[in-house]
Structure 1
Amino acid sequence: MKTRNRLYLIVVALFLLPFICATASADTAQGTETQITTNEFGQRFPAIHGDKIVWSDEVPAIDEIYTSDIYVYDLSTSTETQITDNDKIQEFPAIYGDKIVWQDWRNGNLDIYMYDLSTSEETQITTDESAQEDPAIYEDRIVWTDSRNGNYDIYMYKISTSTETRITTSESNQGNPDIYGNRVVWTDSRNGNQDIYMYDLSTSTETRITTNESNQLNPAIYGDKIVWQDYRDGGTDLYMYDLSTSTETWLISMSMPEPAGPYAFSDNRIVWQEFRNGNFDIYMYDISTSRETQITAHESYQLWPDIYGDVIVWMDDRNENQDIYMFTLAPAPELTPLDRTNNLKDYVENTLKVNRGTKKELIVPLDASIHFLETGKNAKAVFKLKSFINLVEKMNKYNRISAVDADYMIIEARGIIDQIKAQ
């Protein structure tokens, strides 16, 4: 998921260019770059989910003052669609499935709006006269930063029930929210510095993730992992907290003394913007391989990245205006069904956070499938993988494993089955 920090962070960084130090070079990305927009005005703040990219598109108005509308591009049909059409500013969109959210100035203050692509209906989510901004969305829930209480708090809206919930009640400021599943994360200033906090909607429990007295900000969450920007070592580092193991891990040092976000997080990949080679480029870090990759190498500025699966999007000023670009990562060498089944077993043994008995039950059909794959008995391997899927579904039904973990294991097991059948 993506964390949406404000553009002033970029501006601050520009003033600090003389202080930027050199850093080790990253790997060069392998894949295909595609220009998505060609309009002569600015297209900014892209976000991606599935096969759809959204952004804020500048519209020239009176006396060279610009407004902006929300647009969406469907990668499956190569079609661009205008979502909003009024003379105010709509910006910072986020998308999940068929639902797009953004912050909107049409009522004289910042409100959160939503558009449902499946019904072509627009909905005003917030109506308070204060500012609601920086929305994020996951499945049925929208979160944002809200100033109605004289400070900045985190609020949530559940689409299916049309109910609004206040998440934070501290008198200090909370901002930059992100959401995945039942977990909401944000930056929090209640301790005199900036820390990362999390709220679990399923247990109504708030947890302080970072306790270091330096600043930690711009969190993003995906699955059981939270990443953020951290200043504890005197520079800018990328850290991660694994909720399944309660462990904090340093990942990589940045070259910038000021925020290099926004960060976006999908699967095991984190992307960000960074001033390293005389301009801003997009970089990626893969947690599973501990490898950093430089995605863009053009001498212009590339900013505001987002990622979904193998696709990264950003805004790019190489054409003397800001356009939306996309990079599709080249696929890694395909793993065999045996490799993937061993990896799935490793996930159950070392990552899945359940009791020992549940792990043992899940490993039994995987071990059998591995044995049959090693001995060339593919039909029996498929049978055991189907048994594994049935077991996961049953455990999820009775709350022995989470829906997020169940979805991952079922999707992976089905993929292995499809791969075996295609051989």
Structure 2
Amino acid sequence: MRSKFFLISLIFQFLIMISIVASAEQETRLGIGVDPDIYGDKVVWSSNGSIHLYDITNRTDTELNSTSAYHPAIYGDKVVWLDNSSGNPNLCVYNISTCGKFLITENVTGGNTYVSGDSTYVVGGSQPAIYGNIIVWQEFIDNENPENKTYKVYMYDLSTFTQTQISNYGCQYGSPDIYEDRIVWANDSGFFGESGPIWMYNASTGNKTEIGTWYSYGCVIYGDKLVSHEYCANYYCIIVYDLSTNEASGVNSPSDPFDPDIYGDRVVWRDERNCMSDIYMCNLSTTNETRISTSGRASVPAIYGDRIVWQDRRTNQSAIHIYDLSAEPIKPQASFTTNVTSGISPLTVLFTDTSTGGTPTNWYWDFGDGINSKHAQTATHTFRKAGEYAVSLTVTNAAGSDTRTVKGCITVS
């Protein structure tokens, strides 16, 4: 039986938010990789075909045995990911308690992975989600005729070892999600004829319900809250559906928001305002908005409790970062590197911040020649006169500041 949500003001009602900048000293870099997920004190991600399992409490990073694995998800003591190590696509389930593996080989296909800017996307792929003993994913079938491509949605019950196809239509850009016995996904209904952009399937009753409006590019669920990434009146938006009240509201963003996730009353997403790509969070209870990352190159956030993880390309490699909303501030310890230390005038030098401790929110470079640079994590400077120059970097965040000075850092002849 279908149910339509009433959208306030014809499409949706924006939440009125107070913008807050998060304290970056609560941010920590965990390791190199992409596609992070988090549950409790465990974080998983993929890196060069392997899955990493990081224990926040013990600060240990365990590399799970695989050569072609990606898109991990975690719930409880189980990690699931898409695995192509054998040359055939599988879903691999790893039990943290027993270190045992379980492979699902039926109706599993990989997606078309591509990189756009600072973000990695998988089109039509099996990006699995897990809750309890239920795993959900979609199968991508690439027929010769592009108009006949299909994205079938499946669930697998680990307690009964049974697989069920729950939809003939998935979403080209999204993937299914699950909370308790509710499975949600967006579909390409506008192209394949099945009505409604979002469907919800009840694994206990087998009932399927249509939710929301058109043009959803993916959705996630937690409790009675369903968060959808949609196309609204010529721009992208994030819509929050309350399944208990049949009401919808919008998460306000002056630019295109992507990659939403939800835990409790907190929604996180990637936001491209001010020509930056950063992680933002909205508290649905207070309507406060918080900017979590400050690098301008962050994407794919996931949230659990007070912790938010994401992938960040602030350097040449994508790294996994974690932000703890409850952590105490930590002062940064300044340090930096240079690509050269000497040369003929005019000499252009690249200075790269390598500070440790708390993550800085402000940088001040003194190059020793009377020309200084502010607010630049990475700075390029040209020395035009011969001489020996002392260079210093001062880094600051809410917990304090620290300065590193290197005498004779640059020699120009």
> Which TM-score tier does this pair reach, normalised by the shorter chain?
0.5 to 0.7
2:251 and 2:33 map into 1 onto residues whose CA distance is: 32
CA contact (8 A) 1:153 1:174 kept: no
Aligned-residue offset at 1:280? 1.0
1:197 equivalent to 2:187? Answer no
The equivalent position to 1:127 in structure 2, one of 98, 106, 112, is: 106
Q: How many pairs does the alignment contain?
A: 288
For residues 243 and 79 of structure 1, do their structure 2 counterparts lie closer, same or farther at Cα, with a shift above 3 Å needed?
A: same
CA contact (8 A) 2:92 2:104 kept: yes
1:91 and 1:203 map into 2 onto residues whose CA distance is: 32
1:82 equivalent to 2:63? Answer yes
Structure 2 unaligned blocks of 5 or more: 1-16, 111-124, 143-148, 329-413
Q: Per the alignment, in what secondary structure is the counterpart of residue 209 of structure 2? A: strand
Aligned-residue offset at 1:269? 0.8
Q: Per the alignment, in what secondary structure is the counterpart of residue 236 of structure 1? A: strand
The equivalent position to 2:323 in structure 1, one of 327, 339, 349, is: 327
For residues 194 and 216 of structure 1, do their structure 2 counterparts lie closer, same or farther at Cα, with a shift above 3 Å needed?
A: farther
1:262 equivalent to 2:243? Answer no
Aligned-residue offset at 1:278? 2.7
**Higher-Rg member (1/2):** 2
Partner in structure 2 of residue 186 of structure 1: 185
For residues 244 and 261 of structure 1, do their structure 2 counterparts lie closer, same or farther at Cα, with a shift above 3 Å needed?
A: same
The equivalent position to 1:142 in structure 2, one of 115, 135, 138, is: 135
The equivalent position to 1:47 in structure 2, one of 10, 29, 37, is: 37
Q: Per the alignment, in what secondary structure is the counterpart of residue 85 of structure 2? A: coil
Q: Which amino acid aligns with 1:141?
A: I
The equivalent position to 2:21 in structure 1, one of 28, 34, 49, is: 28
Aligned-residue offset at 1:254? 4.7
Aligned-residue offset at 1:29? 1.6
For residues 329 and 129 of structure 1, do their structure 2 counterparts lie closer, same or farther at Cα, with a shift above 3 Å needed?
A: closer
For residues 206 and 321 of structure 1, do their structure 2 counterparts lie closer, same or farther at Cα, with a shift above 3 Å needed?
A: same
Q: CA RMSD in A?
A: 2.5
CA contact (8 A) 1:110 1:133 kept: no
CA contact (8 A) 1:238 1:254 kept: no
Q: How does 1:147-296 map to 2 (within 5 A)?
A: 147=140, 151-169=150-168, 175-192=174-191, 195-210=197-212, 212=213, 214-256=214-256, 260-296=257-293
1:146 and 1:311 map into 2 onto residues whose CA distance is: 31
Q: Which amino acid aligns with 1:318?
A: R
Percentage of identical aligned residues: 36
CA contact (8 A) 2:46 2:71 kept: yes
Aligned-residue offset at 1:297? 1.1
CA contact (8 A) 2:173 2:217 kept: no
Aligned-residue offset at 1:148? 5.9
CA contact (8 A) 2:34 2:318 kept: yes
Q: Per the alignment, in what secondary structure is the counterpart of residue 147 of structure 1? A: strand
Q: Per the alignment, in what secondary structure is the counterpart of residue 277 of structure 1? A: helix
CA contact (8 A) 2:133 2:157 kept: yes
User: Which of the pair is proportionally richer in helix?
Assistant: 1
Aligned-residue offset at 1:325? 0.8
Q: Which amino acid aligns with 1:36?
A: L
CA contact (8 A) 1:187 1:216 kept: yes
For residues 331 and 286 of structure 1, do their structure 2 counterparts lie closer, same or farther at Cα, with a shift above 3 Å needed?
A: farther
1:217 and 1:52 map into 2 onto residues whose CA distance is: 28
Q: Per the alignment, in what secondary structure is the counterpart of residue 189 of structure 2? A: coil
Structure 1 unaligned blocks of 5 or more: 1-23, 59-67, 333-423
1:228 and 1:305 map into 2 onto residues whose CA distance is: 15
For residues 172 and 304 of structure 1, do their structure 2 counterparts lie closer, same or farther at Cα, with a shift above 3 Å needed?
A: closer
The equivalent position to 1:111 in structure 2, one of 78, 87, 90, is: 90
State the TM-score, normalizing by the size of structure 1. Answer: 0.63
Q: Which moved more, 1:276-285 or 1:122-131?
A: 122-131
Aligned-residue offset at 1:129? 6.8
For residues 171 and 328 of structure 1, do their structure 2 counterparts lie closer, same or farther at Cα, with a shift above 3 Å needed?
A: closer
1:99 equivalent to 2:78? Answer yes
Measured against aligned partners, the alpha-carbon deviations of 1:279-316 in whole angstroms (never above 9, x if no partner) come to 211111111111211101124x1111111000001111
2:171 and 2:52 map into 1 onto residues whose CA distance is: 35
CA contact (8 A) 2:27 2:323 kept: yes
CA contact (8 A) 2:238 2:260 kept: no
1:187 and 1:216 map into 2 onto residues whose CA distance is: 6
User: Which of the pair is proportionally richer in strand?
Assistant: 2
Q: Which amino acid aligns with 1:54?
A: V
State the TM-score, normalizing by the size of structure 2. Answer: 0.65
Q: Which amino acid aligns with 1:53?
A: V
Aligned-residue offset at 1:172? 8.8
Aligned-residue offset at 1:231? 1.9
